[in-house]
Amino acid sequence: MTAMGDHERGGTASLDQLRPLERTVLSFIWRRFAGRPFSDDHLRTLIIPRLSGAEVQLGVLLLRRRGWIKAASKGWNEWEYCIPFHKLGFLQSSFGGLQAVPSAGEPSKLLQEGRAGISLDVFNTLVYAEKTSLAVTSRGVLHKKHIRRLEEIAALSPNDLDPAVLRFTQHEAYPPQIALILDLLQSLGLAAIQSLGLAAIQRHGLIIDRRALGEWLELSREAMDNRILFILMERCTPENPAYQHFVWRLCDPSLTCGRWIDPGLLLSDSHDGSQKEDGAGTISRLHAGEAFPWLRLLAGCGYIDLGENDDGRIVFRWRMTPLPALFGGFANSEAGSGRLYIQPDFDILIPPDVPYTLRFQAALFTERLSDDVMSVYRLTRDSVMEAARAGIGPEQIIQLLEKGAAAGFPDHVRTAIVQWGMGADDSENRPGHRLQLGNADLADGADGGSSRYPLPWSLDSAAAVITERAGSIGEAENEPDEVDERLPDIRSLLPDLTRIPAMWTKDWRAYHSSTAKQMMEQALALSVKLEISINGRRMEFIPRELGRNPWTITGALFPPGADGPESIVQLSEGQWREMRLLIPGSV
Amino acid sequence: MNPKPCIVQRDRTILLETAHPEFEQARRQLSQYADLVKSPSSFHTYRITPLSLWNAAASGKSAETICSSLQGLARWEVPVQVLAEIRQLVSRYGQLSLLPHPDKEQRLLLRSVSESLLNELRSLRTLADIGLDFRSSKEAEVPADRRGLLKQELTRLGYPVLDHAGYQDGQYLDIRWRGETDPLAATPGNESLPEASDPRKEEKVQGFRLRDYQREAAASIRDAGGSGGSGVIVLPCGAGKTVIGMAAMRELQCETLILTSNTTSVRQWVDELLRKTTLTPEDIGEYSGHRKEVRPVTVATYQILTHRPGKGDEQLHMKLFNERRWGLIIYDEVHLLPAPVFRATADIQATRRLGLTATLIREDGREHDVFSLIGPKRYEMPWKELEDQGWIAEVDCLEVKVPMTSHLKEKYLAAGKREQYRLAAENPSKLSTLIRLVERHPGAQILIIGQYLDQLKAIADRLQAPLITGRMAQNERHAWYAAFRSGETRLLVVSKVANFAVDLPDASVAIEVSGSYGSRQEEAQRLGRLLRPKQGENKAHFYTLVTEDSREEFFALRRRMFLIEQGYEYRTMTVMEGAVPAPVHAKQTSGRKEPRPAGRREASSP
């Protein structure tokens, strides 16, 4: 069982432990809002069958206590709530499990094969940042030459990013794909704009957090892909809940790697068994055209292939297993144990199972030729000299290659490394520690300066903003059951019983018609339900709307206890006899 | 489960792991539809190109066969885009064919299997310029003399054409193998021969006969049912491409124009024709800078064909293509064929053409023109199989690092960069190392090859060996070659004249004392001198003397790159300073002896 599996098990159990009220409220909130923030006003419009408004409020409070809903203050005693992003996967699997989605046929045309992968883009950007001092301008933006170089490095193309989905604050400074990659570096905690630590002039640049880098490189490619997918879903999914549900449905475990799927089947809830009970009609719909930008982003990031059927319908298939992302856990699958190949023509072949620590080290003294199934790097005179000048001497290179080589180390390559390394000007050498990863040395560069710039490439989406406000995913992930410390007292949510005669809630009896009407109106005002007797049957009633002249009260009527559907009825004076108010505090 | 041997990349390159148990099987399959780009140890690189696929299609392979072969060999899933491209590209082969016009002698028909394809072509201006005249939804006409241009342009546009327009037979010429009475009787190699375990021994005993692969190669260009008749044979150095050309001439019994890369090669062709066929000196003409003989069989250089008397003048010798009614044109070293010859070749598409080469890859990227104007690849035999069968020698490559004396070192450090290279290349300490190496191979035929005449002269004087340079008259050179061939002389010191196709059949040791800056071609040519099969263990030795810690090391490395890419491995040893400079006392820079992966050229100890 992987760590993800444990995480998954814990999360599900925690969901199972919720009371029926909590579970119901959570399910409706998730369905209505997904990860989008919502306010008390939004909650008031949320109609959940058989639950009064007060019960919904109470449910929300209980869910906050259990960490299933987070709140952020908007000031003036106003709150904004949301389901923490890392919980959405559990909810998708518990409340939104897909019914069998049929496979689409092999597409007649391949629209876009998934690119090399966003993990490699992040990796190559890190290598470039490590090799080059990435200074920023006085405006806090990377210098143009670096941006141009990063554009060359990235496999992600600007065409993969639809401005309708992704907007960046500094879109005039950064091409969108670079903005996204830099945003990922920041979100992953791998790099930030900080002081370059030069004594004379206070300059800033993109500084790699070497400890975080060491930890990142220890991950398997699968884990990197999933972690980045998770962040993309968190930061790049449009606010529209229907869109968010679609994005999560895409990650359903039944849509296995390699199976072509018509995404049109995932746009609505028709394949989502849990939606059938939702009669509120409040869920907005998503059109195929709206969903395409997300698919294109996924293809650009190497997660899916996109094809087109004979009838012009778009189909997709996963190139990986997105399962861990669904649950918000990350497989700590073994980082590969593969080794690289040193070819006599100085090419260094890096199979996909080579650990990223080794790949990173090799990248520091080679030139990258291509990233593909097998990545190809090359040892050149320049790359070795450059490495030597940066403090990675020929002996270190040889030592690393000897250790990492799968099948021998040609003599002449070894000789050439020594010879080229000698050509570098020793006086420029920096301390040779950069090949050591995953240890304290990596932290050395991280304390260069603590004055972090604001994120110049931040995503401009509300989803990203609420994430910032409600706490980062990383934090939430480490403390999945964190309780909101700003929780109000439960009594503050309940009706002020001192203003209501005690018998209204305690005694089961008939009242004079004027009192009975008053009790109904009070129940409506307090958003609580009543127990009433109609034709000798005990029923529960949730008043929704009051009518005058003649007096009527419209609301949901249903028998207590049973699961049967509620009926919307209009009651006039005298249509019920015994009654009492049901205050949710007794739940 | 054992992982598969290949990694298929998105850019249609394929990496084949040489140490994999299924290497051989995979190599055989890949060679049918992908070009070998380089073959250093660990992983060989192949590339699937439109041409490699059309070559495969020409030999009857379908897209599905190729895709399923690739999927069967791939360690990880084959990128879908690659599969889609294979299907699309292969589907284009056979869509268009060129046929004789049923009514008009001077015109040809271009026929398409689909109307949509011909519609696509209608809009292409370049085709209209060639004179393509669309007559119906599936047919177009073109003047017969535009046959080559049309094929060339369509191939360039990505639409290969099956040329079924037929050939002219050419002037009859009686050509037989020497000693053969009836040309229709069994060809050499077909006769019933006593079985022998070693084919080289058999050849030695029986005299000349076509080897199996040579016979298959010659048969592969036969004109069958309107297709074939032209194409390219790909064989490594030393595999006997000349013999295959002669076999084709014998089969077609027609006057033949042979084009090759240099005068030495011309002489080699003439000698071989005289030695192995019934052709007489009167039948064979040399057309080069020295002689302009046009005879039933004429051997010419590419250079003379493209020669212009003055800037802007016509290439007068191009008329050679039309001087006789040639029935066959042989393009030797077709990867070196110059652009103007392509243009002339476009005009003679009714003549059968045979290309011979060790590689389809051209420095100028004009592989398309070879495909459209000479023909598709008809046969290929990789060096590894020939080496395994003993038809080419296994070569041990060793780089010997020679230190500088302190005096030379001082001079070297004070010199400019060019001078530094020269000083290192002519390092006098190389002489004593050279002598020791010569002594290590008593009785072997040894070539000592160098760049600088002073250095070579000193060596020749010291070893009392003949020095052959460009200044020496051709006859005198040939006399020394003959002496070397006969074993009368076992040591030849040669300048860069050895870079070209000098026929030195039994050289089994080559010692390179200096080379030009970084010529990969030069290194390949020099090593090529050793590839002919050897008696005994069939092994040859190639030594490169390089001055340690000098600029020469850098350029030596560049020179070797082509051979490294071809799968040769160099080992390095350093001569101990001040010690007796003998390999036996040498220290190896690497103490490791790598395990030998399958499919790799072994570098064994001297």
- The DSSP element (H or E) to which B455 belongs, if any, is helix B453-463
For the residues B254-262, what does the mean pLDDT come to?
92
B375/B398 same-domain check: no
Taking the CA of residue B598 and the nearest CA in chain A, the distance in Å comes to 12
Which residue in chain B has the smallest CA separation from A405? B42
**Which pair of tokens denotes residue B148?**
């080559």
B312/B197 same-domain check: yes
**Which pair of tokens denotes residue A215?**
């930890």
B364/B422 same-domain check: no
Asked if the Cβ–Cβ distance from B42 to A342 is below 8 Å, we say yes
B266/B369 same-domain check: yes
Which residue in chain B has the smallest CA separation from A106? B80
Taking the CA of residue B41 and the nearest CA in chain A, the distance in Å comes to 6
What pLDDT, on the 0 to 100 scale, is given for residue A482? 40
B308/B423 same-domain check: no
Of B355, B381, B407, the last residue of a domain is: B381
Spell out the alpha helix ranges (H) of A68-143: 85-95, 118-131
In this prediction the pTM is: 0.75
Q: What is the fold of A495-582?
A: SH3 type barrels. (2.30.30)
A447 bridge partner residues: none
What pLDDT, on the 0 to 100 scale, is given for residue A195? 67
For the residues A475-502, what does the mean pLDDT come to?
59
Check: CB of residue B345 under 8 Å from CB of residue B375. Answer: no
Q: Which residues contact B395 (CB under 8 A, 6 or more apart)?
A: B527, B530, B531, B539, B540, B541, B542, B568, B601
- Say if B105 falls within a structural domain: yes
| Prediction ipTM score | 0.72
B486/B577 same-domain check: yes
Q: What percent of chain A has pLDDT over 70?
A: 77
For the residues A331-348, what does the mean pLDDT come to?
81
Of B341, B360, B381, the last residue of a domain is: B381
For the residues B451-459, what does the mean pLDDT come to?
94
Q: What are the DSSP calls for B481-510, one per residue?
A: HHHHHHTS--EEEE-GGGGS----TT--EE
Lowest mean pLDDT segment, chosen from A275-289, A355-369, B469-483 = A275-289
Cβ-based burial of A201 (10 A; exposed 0-12, middle 13-18, buried ≥19): exposed
Which residue in chain B has the smallest CA separation from A317? B80
**Which pair of tokens denotes residue B218?**
């010659």
Domain that holds residue B487: 387-588
Residues of B in contact with A110 (CB under 8 A): 80-81, 84
User: What CATH number is associated with residue B141?
Assistant: 3.30.1360
Check: CB of residue A209 under 8 Å from CB of residue A447. Answer: no
**Which pair of tokens denotes residue B366?**
């004009």
Q: Residue A575 is which amino acid?
A: Q
B520/B395 same-domain check: yes
Which residue in chain A has the smallest CA separation from B43? A343
Report whether pLDDT(A269) > 80.
Answer: no
| Strands (DSSP E) found in A435-524 | 509-510
> Using alpha carbons only, how large is chain B's radius of gyration in Å?
26
Asked if the Cβ–Cβ distance from B592 to A416 is below 8 Å, we say no
Check: CB of residue B571 under 8 Å from CB of residue B398. Answer: yes
The 3-state secondary structure of B114-131, one letter per residue: CHHHHHHHHCCHHHHHHC
Classify A437 as helix, strand or coil: coil
- Say if B600 falls within a structural domain: no
Asked if the Cβ–Cβ distance from A344 to B595 is below 8 Å, we say no
- Say if B171 falls within a structural domain: no
Tally of structural domains, chain B: 4
Report whether pLDDT(B91) > 90.
Answer: yes
Q: How confident is the model at residue B469 (pLDDT cuts 50, 70, 90)?
A: confident
B392/B377 same-domain check: no
Touching check for A90 and chain B: CB below 8 Å?
Answer: no
What pLDDT, on the 0 to 100 scale, is given for residue B500? 57
For the residues B409-436, what does the mean pLDDT come to?
93
pLDDT, averaged across chain B: 83
Taking the CA of residue B520 and the nearest CA in chain A, the distance in Å comes to 13
B341/B406 same-domain check: no
- Say if B370 falls within a structural domain: yes
Taking the CA of residue B69 and the nearest CA in chain A, the distance in Å comes to 18
Distances (CA, A) of A73 to A44, A68, A79, A494, B130: 18, 17, 5, 21, 77
- Say if B606 falls within a structural domain: no
Check: CB of residue A373 under 8 Å from CB of residue B76. Answer: yes
Classify A181 as helix, strand or coil: helix
Residues of A in contact with B592 (CB under 8 A): 408-409
B579/B520 same-domain check: yes
Residue to substitute from A256, A316, A347, A373, interface B, most B β-carbons within 10 A: A373
- Say if B599 falls within a structural domain: no
Q: What are the DSSP calls for B248-287, one per residue?
A: HHHHHTB-EEEEESSHHHHHHHHHHHHHHBS--TTTEEEE
B512/B486 same-domain check: yes
pLDDT 10s digits, A512-533? 999 999 999 999 998 999 999 9
B359/B321 same-domain check: yes
The class of domain A2-95 in CATH terms is mainly alpha
Would you list the domain boundaries of chain A?
Answer: 2-95, 341-445, 495-582
What pLDDT, on the 0 to 100 scale, is given for residue B155? 92
- Say if B67 falls within a structural domain: yes
Residues of A in contact with B84 (CB under 8 A): 110
Touching check for A305 and chain B: CB below 8 Å?
Answer: yes
Spell out the alpha helix ranges (H) of A334-380: 356-363
Report whether pLDDT(A193) > 60.
Answer: yes
pLDDT 10s digits, A529-561? 999 999 999 999 999 999 999 999 999 999 987
Residues of B at the A interface (Cβ-Cβ below 8 Å)?
A: 7-11, 15, 19, 38, 40-43, 76-77, 79-81, 84, 399, 549, 553-554, 557, 560-561, 564-565, 569-572, 588-590, 592, 594-595, 597
Q: Residue A307 is which amino acid?
A: G
